A and B are shown apart, each in its own frame.
Chain A
């Protein structure tokens, strides 16, 4: 067994483990390990998140392990662990991709991006979520890939269900799958297509050359590359080298220059392909001896320029305007930190969406509802679902503490918004039709929707006693089930806004926070 084969096994195992945690994210019980482990271990998200939000995020200190490994071993995380990297390797294996593009001149781009993200974080805006590979992978898996799998399955299932004698068997099969793997309700994600497209672009490049994303764009790769500079585990080539050039061809990240004995160690991801392919056995990777490094320095001017770009991006993010009616619709998950901190902590990994999709189906990725600063953050939409009363899943899976963990009792008392009736649309008010669906579904033990019974006069002059619903503000927690279940088509007769929302303040208490959403 060569080290390369061990590396491939490691990649497969880490990807399977990633998928296992991804699956466990939506499970109510049986979590023996934090399901957000990969995100917690991401040093880039940890560092820039803490800088931007100006807080220490204890859960993300797990990333120190990755930093330590990188200092000793180099970018093994990229080559042996990263789920994005493994996904790309899988694609290139299926597509039999060879390294067609010599991307050496573009490899610097990721350092410039890192510099921009770093300076924007210093200014208080965490923008690295856009390209961080771990956040991007969970995001794509949640919003694009899993829905594709589930929708395809449901499509096939519905076709088979037309065959009448099979019905009862199929029902049992689907039920057991729902129990273990599938969601009960179909997914609705408004950004699904966009993320699908982003994934398609990343995959598309992979069909032409290997690890394009990792070489050119990945800011985590850039950070680990810089950290790995003093690494001990290095590639060396001895006198037996016949200069056949095979190692340069198989190198995934173009880390071997024209002089095959040299290595660009910031780019090397320790995949051991070069060792494996070297016929005379001239290439070795170990801790001993002198290694020939070739460092192509990125220009300071460009680094400076990209830093300025980061500052500009941060400033422009900060001045985006949120329309007040949109701001009032921005219903954050229960246990969220105050808005200004929330948007900087949130890494848009969509673990919360993933958990919610199999429960209340309430959380959606925002577009510009929360302004540019809140781009792609999770917020509740009562059109697709509602916040399930006894569910605390989203609060349990947040890697960056943007959502604080709540137990069921605390969750029951956490107010995320307030419902109001639109009397022009609500049936009893609008046309005297008796309807109580909102009250029926209201989950608080003492219902937050009550009735007053009054006489309604119809157009023909006849009169009838009708129950008119109203909201009891002190009892309403803003879960949105009333809006979701309201039978009025189109805009509902009862709606929720984020009025009265409670935000969790680090330190342990809940505070009313209705003033500081949006930008400050």
Chain B
């Protein structure tokens, strides 16, 4: 009942949305309309089991049906970068990935694919992270990222990242659900949603690091994932992004979900005791049309289980 404060506002909103649909209103304005209704644009769920928190967070921002339509081809993009096991918190929690896959199917997805361009040997990362088996059990098609899938994309709206090889199967999908794990990182300070999209890049990704705070928001603006779910169930606080030492892992039991990648990243910084403005690529986000990074101004909702 807390979605709508009173009946009058409900009628008003319904009218606006109805009119919008009839007039073929651009989607951005529709999103604005939703914000005005009180549906949060970012949800944070704490203190629960990974799968339950994931489900609740997505439901709070409108449910998976808002992002995945019937018959859609959906890409679920976790971080499977490293040959580490789940307790070492270098890769996304497999339970979170599996739950997201299930929710996609519940929303009517025709096909859900899970992949990531790994840093260590792909076979090892897929197996050791537990993600391949968890996602497959949930019904997803898990595939390795192969060279044949990369194409050169022009990104005319960007200033720095104007051309790069990207993974076609991801870019041609109907919906991308970005599921990073929040981690410490030597250069970016933190690796979050935007950094996770580097898993769809081909070529020599090392060069991205030279202008990382410009490249990442530009990449996010080009790929535009429909939904970002940040896994902060277990978090690497030092020696990231790979870790390996269990004493660097902190259990935070938090899931953040938002259709806006910059807002999700901005909020996630607070888990590490940082401010969004500390991280260059988050600060640059709004310049590329990514959303709100001021936590005070966000339509934020926090819940516990």
Contacts and interface: CB of A to CB of B under 8 A. Distances in A.
Interface of A: 28, 154, 157-158, 161, 164, 167-168, 170-172, 174-175, 178-179, 184-185, 358-360, 388-391, 427, 433-437, 439-447, 451, 467, 485-487
A172 B121 contact: no
A440 B186 contact: yes
A171 B169 contact: yes
Nearest to A184: B122
Given A172-B141, A434-B187, A445 B83 contact: no
Contact of B83 (A174, A388, A433): A388
Interface residues of B, number: 39
Contacts of A161: 148-149
Nearest to A168: B169
A150 to B, nearest CB: 12
Given A388-B120, A445-B244, A487-B207, A168 B187 contact: no
Nearest to A444: B244
A443 B244 contact: yes
A176 to B, nearest CB: 8
Nearest to A175: B143
A486 B146 CA distance: 21
B243 to A, nearest CB: 7
A444 to B, nearest CB: 7
Given A178-B123, A185-B121, 5 more contacts: A28-B127, A157-B146, A161-B148, A184-B121, A359-B124
B242 interface: yes
- The 7 nearest A-B residue pairs measured at CB: A487-B206, A445-B244, A445-B245, A175-B143, A161-B148, A436-B187, A437-B206
Given A171-B146, A444-B244, A487-B204, A451 B120 contact: no
Given A435-B210, A436-B209, A157 B144 contact: no
Nearest to A186: B147
Interface of B: 73, 83, 111, 113, 119-124, 127-128, 141-144, 146-149, 168-169, 172, 185-187, 204, 206-207, 209-210, 212, 239, 241-245, 248
Contacts of A446: 239, 245
B209 A487 contact: yes
B148 A388 contact: no
Contacts of A168: 73, 111, 113, 141, 169
Contacts of A164: 172
A443 B187 CA distance: 16
B164 to A, nearest CB: 14
A358 B83 contact: no
B244 to A, nearest CB: 4
Given A179-B123, A388-B124, A442-B242, A485 B169 contact: no
8 contacts: A167-B169, A168-B111, A171-B146, A172-B141, A178-B146, A437-B206, A443-B244, A467-B186
A445 B146 CA distance: 29
B148 A390 contact: no
Given A175-B144, A467-B187, A435 B243 contact: no
B169 A390 contact: no
Contacts of B185: 440
Nearest to B111: A168
Given A179-B123, A358-B123, A436 B186 contact: yes
A391 B122 CA distance: 13
B168 A389 contact: no
B151 to A, nearest CB: 10
Most buried by B among A172, A437, A444: A437
A391 B123 CA distance: 11
Most buried by B among A171, A427, A441: A171
Contact of A391 (B124, B149, B212): B124
A175 B142 contact: yes
Given A184-B121, A440-B186, A441-B242, A174 B146 contact: yes
A449 to B, nearest CB: 9
A267 to B, nearest CB: 46
Nearest to B118: A184
A170 B128 CA distance: 25
A360 B121 contact: yes
Contacts of B244: 443-445
Nearest to A170: B148
Contacts of B147: 158
Contact of B210 (A360, A427, A445): A427
A158 B147 CA distance: 8
Given A440-B185, A487-B204, A388 B121 contact: yes
A440 B144 contact: no
A171 B242 contact: no
B83 A389 contact: yes
